[in-house]
């Protein structure tokens, strides 16, 4: 595995590569969810790039960029274990210099996560576009847990006629159902135990749909019963294009949840 830190190093490496390139962009603190993306990239491509970059432009004022978990040595070992060919680890100056935001996220970036964190997706799309331009991947792998982010990246690739194939990958969960996240380490033991109710509520929703219950208010009420002890920021029911649904459409619905545990926000969802 080669570790690259500059644009020149990455471009020189990319110019030598032939065949398909799989790319997994991350902010580090790698866990089994990231590993599943990397392994899929490894299985489907001749060359695999992973990037680790804690992107400052997607953090809003008041959000603690410096507190975001960083585990560089462990991350390097994980990438080696997963047989990554190139690991790109730039700093903020390398990625941005004096640049301002070059693109503006579409209107759907200001609902749900974007409503809570206005401007967040501007930063996400900018850094992903830069990375796509540098790595020029054949396939890029993103987890479904960040469903709104995934949808916006897919839309960006389509609107800008990018040749990359954006590959959605299933959520990886702990044995008790909690969706894997770099933020889980900030939960206390009690919060960690309570957080299981998030995935339980989604399984409850899926069970209701399997019994042909498609009424959103009925499903939402049952989910809230399961999460009665949680600080639920929102439950949303949208289709794959992130338009609000009147009722569940099987094969075209996503149920999204955000719950707060003190300063920690946990996201989860289920595609139905």
Question: Which range of residues forms the domain containing residue 59?
Answer: 2-169
Do 165 and 212 share a domain, yes or no? no
Which amino acids are annotated as binding site for (R)-pantoate, given as ranges?
Answer: 58, 149
pLDDT for res 62: 66
The number of distinct structural domains making up the chain is: 2
Do 160 and 189 share a domain, yes or no? no
Q: Which of 146, 169, 192 is the last residue of a domain?
A: 169
pLDDT for res 102: 63
pLDDT for res 69: 75
Do 84 and 138 share a domain, yes or no? yes
Euclidean distance between CA atoms 96 and 107, whole angstroms: 24
- In the chain, which stretches have pLDDT less than 70? 62, 99-103
CATH code at 228?
Answer: 3.30.1300.10
pLDDT for res 65: 75
Do 65 and 13 share a domain, yes or no? yes
Q: Which of 140, 169, 198 is the last residue of a domain?
A: 169
Q: 120 catalytic, yes or no?
A: no
Which amino acids are annotated as binding site, given as ranges?
Answer: 27-34, 58, 143-146, 149, 172, 180-183
Instruction: Using alpha carbons only, give the angle 18, 22, 23 rounded to the nearest 5 degrees.
Output: 125
The catalytic residue among 34, 40, 76, 120 is 34
Q: CA dist 74 to 30, 33, 70, 183, Å?
A: 8, 15, 9, 16
Euclidean distance between CA atoms 95 and 84, whole angstroms: 21
pLDDT tens column, 109-124:
888 998 988 888 988 9
Q: Which of 117, 142, 169 is the last residue of a domain?
A: 169
Cβ–Cβ < 8 Å for 117, 265: no
**What's the whole-model pTM score?**
0.93
CATH code at 131?
Answer: 3.40.50.620
């Amino acid at each position: 595995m080669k570790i690259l830190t500059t644009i020149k190093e990455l471009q020189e490496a990319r110019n030598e590569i032939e065949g398909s390139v799989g790319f997994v962009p991350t902010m580090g603190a790698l866990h089994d969810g990231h590993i599943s993306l990397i392994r899929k990239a490894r299985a489907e491509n001749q060359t695999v790039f992973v990037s680790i970059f804690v992107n400052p432009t997607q953090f809003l004022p008041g959000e603690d960029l410096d507190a975001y978990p960083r585990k560089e040595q462990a991350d390097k070992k994980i990438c080696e274990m997963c047989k990554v060919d190139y690991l790109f680890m730039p700093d903020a100056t390398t990625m941005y210099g004096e640049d301002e935001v070059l693109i503006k996220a579409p209107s759907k970036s200001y609902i749900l996560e974007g409503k809570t964190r206005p401007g967040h997706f501007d930063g996400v799309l900018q850094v992903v576009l830069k990375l796509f331009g540098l790595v020029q991947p054949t396939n890029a792998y993103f987890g479904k847990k960040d469903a709104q982010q995934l949808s916006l990246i897919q839309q960006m690739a389509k609107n800008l006629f990018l040749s990359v194939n954006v590959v959605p990958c299933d959520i990886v969960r702990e044995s008790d159902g909690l969706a894997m996240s770099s933020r889980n380490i900030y939960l206390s033991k009690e919060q960690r135990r309570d957080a299981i109710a998030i995935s339980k509520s989604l399984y409850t929703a899926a069970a209701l749909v399997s019994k042909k219950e498609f009424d959103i208010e009925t499903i939402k009420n049952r989910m809230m019963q399961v999460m009665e002890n949680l600080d639920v920021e929102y439950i949303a029911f949208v289709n794959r294009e992130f338009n609000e649904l009147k009722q569940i459409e099987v094969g075209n619905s996503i149920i999204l949840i955000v719950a707060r545990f003190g300063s920690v926000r946990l996201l989860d969802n289920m595609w139905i």
